[in-house]
Amino acid sequence: MGLCKCPKRRATNLFCFEHRVNVCEHCLVDVHEACVVQSYLSWLTDSDYDTKCLLCSESLASKETVRLKCLHNFHWSCMSTRVGNLPEGTPPTTFKCPICLDSIFPSANQTSPVIERLKEKLSSVNWGRIGLGLEPKKGLDIVTEDRHYPKKSFAVNIGYDLRPSVQTTSRVKQGNLPIESRPLQDDSDHVDIKYVKRQSTMRFGRFSKTVKRSLVILLVLGGFYLVLLMFSGRDSNENESLFDPHANPNIRVEPNNL
């Protein structure tokens, strides 16, 4: 959970993989429309990402995109062509996300900026209107491939090292991609190492607190035991006849005449 960089500073668990910032759903549909965005936990688990459309292998920023309710992003023309080419009579429940196989159509009670933008796009084609429970219209079966250019109103200051460096493990998976199409991940290894170190520090801190707490408990129990031992020893000495001088025949005790 983090705060979005927008002026409203909304709390959100969504994370932009490309800009490495938390984003709220309002900024997601307005500024990060063509970005790879998932939950912050997903980024901590695996920070690798691909800025290409899975259906055509072209850059997501080159055309208009559609973000499904699962947050996976595709070219709108590619998704519409893929679903529109299915046989007539195919039930809308079989329309799935190509990545996670989640249903494309949101439920009637779902509402959010992402869901509203998705419903807006789905209602512009007949197969989408049918899936949403709307009446189909004539002339809505063609989706134009408009070129899409992301807005430039969002900027993140990231320092880049122009010196040649050894290729890190996070870039090995993309070694076969053309240079101009590889996603920018200069700092991904550094970020991964940072969170590994943070987890190690947190574990060591928890271990130290546990050890300190155990030592304090042992000291308290030990002190309590010593106090009990002292009192029990004093009582036994008072009742012991060997320590009574009157009972010892080798000790003469003169009577007190005062």
Domain boundaries, the chain: 1-45, 53-136
Report how far apart, in Å, the C-alpha atoms of 133 and of each of 31, 76, 98, 122, 136 are: 30, 20, 22, 11, 9
CA distances from 49 to 79, 167, 193, 199 (A): 20, 17, 18, 23
Considering the domain delimited by 1-45, tell me its CATH architecture: 2-Layer Sandwich (3.30)
pLDDT digits (tens, 9 = 90+) for 79-138: 989 988 888 888 888 899 999 999 999 988 888 999 999 999 999 998 888 888 888 887
Q: What is the CATH number of domain 53-136?
A: 3.30.40
**Comparison of pLDDT for 231 and 218, the residue scoring more:** 218
Using pLDDT thresholds of 50, 70 and 90, give the confidence band for residue 227: confident
Q: In this predicted model, what pLDDT tens digit does every residue of 131-158 receive, in sequence order? A: 888 888 876 665 555 544 444 444 444 4
